[in-house]
Amino acid sequence: MTNSSDSSLSESKPSLLHLAPLEAVLFDVDGTLCDSDPIHLIAFQELLQEIGFNNGVPIDEKFFIENIAGKHNSEIAASLFPDDLSRGLKFCEEKEALFRKIVVEKLKPIDGLTRLTKWIEERGLKRAAVTNAPKENAELMITKLGLKDFFQAVIVGSECEHPKPHPDPYLKGLEVLNVSKEHTLVFEDSVSGIKAGVAAGMPVIGLTTGNPEELLMQAKPAFLIQNYADAKLWSVLEELDSKGMLLNHLSH
């Protein structure tokens, strides 16, 4: 009995003090800056139904989470069209074009995002977006969210040797920003993304915007939050802040 209450206590009061002084913050895009997964689901449902996939029965959210969410298009194409990869890749291109049409009207930032980006800017931290999304999608979403000037770099999975869940995109992010993994934090919302950040040697804060908590926990995030207004996140950032200020004071 004691064990379960202890574990819930540690879960409710996480700490990332070992990162102080914080140098950089890396963000995924889909589901992390904005709740775009429902828009991806609509686009997939519409186009898959058109071609009679699954005998014309629309795919549901469970299928989307298990087979699509967080994955690179090459992986999605192979999963949906195992016998015809070129058809799968062409289908994914059409789906992305439909997604870009819909996203312009429906895109909204994750709650608390503006507060967090302001906090990051005020402290002069470096920041990059690291995504498996096609470049055109990533740039559209970042621009629509008003974050074009916020990010100093956008790392795209297809421009790396391997996309997420491999660590390559996050390692490239560290390299481009010229920061160390020991002082960098990652925000992610998918199993694939969390695995990539963890494999790159960084603590990852997972967002429960589109995937079940128990699924995300399997990828070993530092802890989970609902959104950027979550009190758990701000207690961690305030603790980091106070230690960072103390370290700066001691170094002078």
Q: Which residues are identified as catalytic?
A: 28, 30
Q: For residue 126, which phi and psi values (nearest 5 degrees)? A: -80, 155
In Å, how far from its chain's centre is CA 151? 14
Query: Can you say whether the dihedral through the CA atoms of 249, 176, 130, 110 is positive or negative?
Result: positive
Cβ pair 131, 31 in contact under 8 A: no
**C-alpha to C-alpha distance for 226 and 103, rounded to whole angstroms:** 22
185, containing H or E segment: strand 184-188
Cβ pair 147, 109 in contact under 8 A: no
Length of the chain: 252
Query: Can you say whether the dihedral through the CA atoms of 33, 209, 202, 136 is positive or negative?
Result: negative
Start-to-end CA distance of the chain, whole Å, equals 48
Please enumerate in sequence order all residues whose Cβ is within 8 A of that of 155, keeping only pairs 6 or more positions apart, or say none.
Answer: 128, 129, 130, 131, 169, 170, 172, 173, 176
